[in-house]
A and B are shown apart, each in its own frame.
Chain A
Amino acid sequence: MNPRTQTLLQTLENADWFSCVGKRDLPNVAYVSSWLHAAASFPNVEWGNLGLQRGHIIENKASQKSKERAQLWSELLKEFRPLLNEMVKRKTETVVKAQGLPAPFVSNVFGDMLGIAMESEYSDIVAPDFYTNLILDAYLKGHFPCGWEGKYPEGKLIVY
């Protein structure tokens, strides 16, 4: 793992996750008004596909820039999975209990963290975009990103 990703994960670890849900304090986003409304996004295929597609784009761009670096993709995923799994469990435990959030919520957060970490790993050769500028930003500011309003890249991130 790159030191910049280590620093980033530490920043995420120190952040107060979901502390600002319900507040409307971010510019240029759309909001849902409750965990119940956010829950409708957990199994949403379009939202899930957008995240997967952005991940594939990072991998493809990395492969165009450096074959050697791109070959490390699977190794990095293997390294990140247990670490992030542990972090996500720990950081979501309280809200899961308090709000009765189901397993797909934790899976979605895990997918977001994996995207953030991978984008950071390749940020020296692929310009940070979706995961760093939008998803990471939402988590660090205490919100939960849960959808996209419009047709990406037009439109807005939906957060709770």
Chain B
Amino acid sequence: MKPVTSAKLKELEQANWFGAVGRSRIGGAKMVSSWMEAVVSCADSKWQTVQYDAMYLHKLAVHDKLRRITPEDRYRLDMEAIRGEVTQGNVVESGPYLKLDFPEWDQAWKALQPGIVAMVKEKTKAVVDRDGLPDVVVKRATWDVVCMAMEWEFSEVEPPGFYDDMSGVYLHGHFLCGWEGRFPEGQPIVY
């Protein structure tokens, strides 16, 4: 793990998780006012899609920088991949998820994930137990922190983006539970 990732995770570990839910506001976010609303929002597959899109777009940017793939080359490669899928009669998803062979990313993910799973479980346990929160809250928060760590881990290649921006939500004691609008336009939904 890079020192920057370790330092940022330490900050998160020292934060008062969910300590400000329902109390203060986060600028530029749509706030919800109860765990009920937060759970319904975060369980929505639309939010899961935004979470995945944000991760994938960053992964692609890191990959292309490392492999010295220009935006023109990226366009050409994507078009070739789509043509290949269509020629084989496969359905091409409307999302941006084309297969990306990127072992450095996969290895870093595999190395970071177990520690983050344990950390998020520990940091959320008190509130989960007190308020009887369902698993989906911990799942969504864990995904967010793994993606933050991945952005920090590759920050020498590509400046951190979406998830780094969202780390403030957790640092300030809130829960990131959705997205309003058509990503990347729009704003986060926060409890």
Contact = CB atoms under 8 A, between A and B. Distances in A.
A124 B74 CA distance: 59
Q: Interface on chain B toward A: helix, strand, loop, or mixed SS? A: helix
B136 interface: yes
Nearest to A99: B36
B45 A100 contact: no
Interface residues of B, number: 16
A99 B35 CA distance: 11
Contact of A42 (B34, B40, B133): B40
B36 A37 contact: no
A30 interface: no
Contacts of A45: 45
Given A36-B133, A36-B134, A43 B36 contact: no
Report which residue of A32, A42, A43 has the largest number of chain B beta carbons within 10 angstroms of its beta carbon. A43
B131 interface: yes
A98 B35 CA distance: 14
B103 interface: no
B132 A39 contact: no
Contacts of B131: 36
B34 A43 contact: no
A102 B36 contact: yes
Contacts, number: 44
B117 to A, nearest CB: 19
B43 A43 contact: yes
Nearest to A38: B134
26 contacts: A32-B134, A34-B132, A35-B36, A37-B132, A37-B134, A39-B39, A39-B134, A40-B39, A40-B40, A40-B43, A40-B135, A41-B43, A42-B43, A43-B43, A43-B45, A43-B46, A44-B43, A44-B45, A45-B45, A100-B34, A100-B36, A100-B37, A101-B36, A102-B36, A102-B40, A104-B40
Given A39-B134, A100-B37, A104-B40, 18 more contacts: A32-B134, A36-B35, A36-B36, A36-B133, A36-B134, A37-B132, A37-B134, A39-B39, A39-B43, A40-B40, A40-B135, A40-B136, A42-B43, A43-B43, A44-B43, A44-B45, A102-B36, A102-B40
Interface of A: 32-37, 39-45, 99-102, 104
